[in-house]
Amino acid sequence: MDSTTKAPNEKENALFQKDGAYANLRRDIIELKLKPGLIISIKELCDHYESSRSPMRDILLRLEQEGLVTLLPQRGIMISKIDFKRVKEERFLRVSVESKIMQCFMREHTKADIVSLEKSIEQQACCIKESEFRKFLAADDEFHNKFYLAVGRSWSADVINSVSGHYKRVRLLSIINRSISENILSQHREMLDAIDKNNEQHLLDLFNHHLTKLDEEEPEFLRRFPDLCITSSAEDRREDILGNDFLVTLV
């Protein structure tokens, strides 16, 4: 094999390894294998994910743009804490797009789509029974992705998934509570019943409640996991730190 054919293969292998390391590190952050707030060196990341330093730097810059890591000069890399301000932005995007997807689904779905949703619900029930939290989250995502696929909007689903790292971590921590995961399953069944009855408004009402229930759970979530989170109020205060009047705080 001459150099003209060898070089492209080496380049392809390097790109494959880089993409693989990115996907694995991102998955480990989102699936909470890596604790939010953990500080780790780039060398440790390179060793664990079998990557050289240059590709790993590119990976970390990409993850920093997604808000999943924070680069700390002279200290290393911090796995970003869960930012509830970011969570609400990510959820807002999903609710805005997915409510329209639901409307399209009501007009375009087939019997095969319903069967597929029913199978997904059965899979979710098995995950709860076996306390497979990560698998339940994946099955939950798959259930919602089926609506996008049915109306030919899989690209939209991929885009939302690519910018929902903080929201997904909150969801995973939430479903550790069995009553919450069972409630999610129950809501999915109610959504399927609304589709079966061709009740679009009820489906949308269920969907909006389904994805906004986090507002009710946030106080308990912050109480249980204070060291894993950044609250919106704390972030806002930090952003305005130069605008605050210190003397006023002493009066």
CATH of residue 200's domain is 1.20.120.530
CATH number at residue 14: 1.10.10.10
Residue 138 lies in a domain: yes
What pTM was computed for the model? 0.82
Give the three-class secondary structure for 40.
strand
Is position 197 within any domain? yes
Which residue from 71, 90, 74 is spatially nearest to 163, judged by alpha carbons?
90
Q: Are residues 103 and 219 in the same domain?
A: yes
Residue 241 lies in a domain: no
Judge whether 184 and 235 are in contact, CB under 8 Å.
no
On whether both 96 and 22 belong to a single domain, the answer is: no
Same domain for 116 and 215?
Answer: yes
Which domain covers residue 184, as residue numbers? 83-233
Q: Are residues 131 and 209 in the same domain?
A: yes
Report how many domains make up the chain.
2
Let me know whether 97 and 194 are in one domain. Answer: yes
Q: Decide which of 51, 80, 109 is a domain's last residue.
A: 80
Instruction: Give yes or no: residues 43 and 89 share one domain.
Output: no
- pLDDT tens for the chain, 251 residues long, are 444 444 555 544 554 456 889 999 999 999 999 999 999 999 999 999 999 999 999 999 999 999 999 999 888 999 999 998 999 999 999 999 999 999 999 999 999 999 999 999 999 999 999 999 999 999 999 999 999 999 999 999 999 999 999 999 999 998 998 999 999 999 999 999 999 999 999 999 998 888 777 777 778 888 888 889 986 444 444 444 455 554 455 44
Token representation of residue 177: 């509570």
23 forms beta bridges with none
Q: Are residues 96 and 183 in the same domain?
A: yes
CA 161/CA 140 separation, integer angstroms? 12
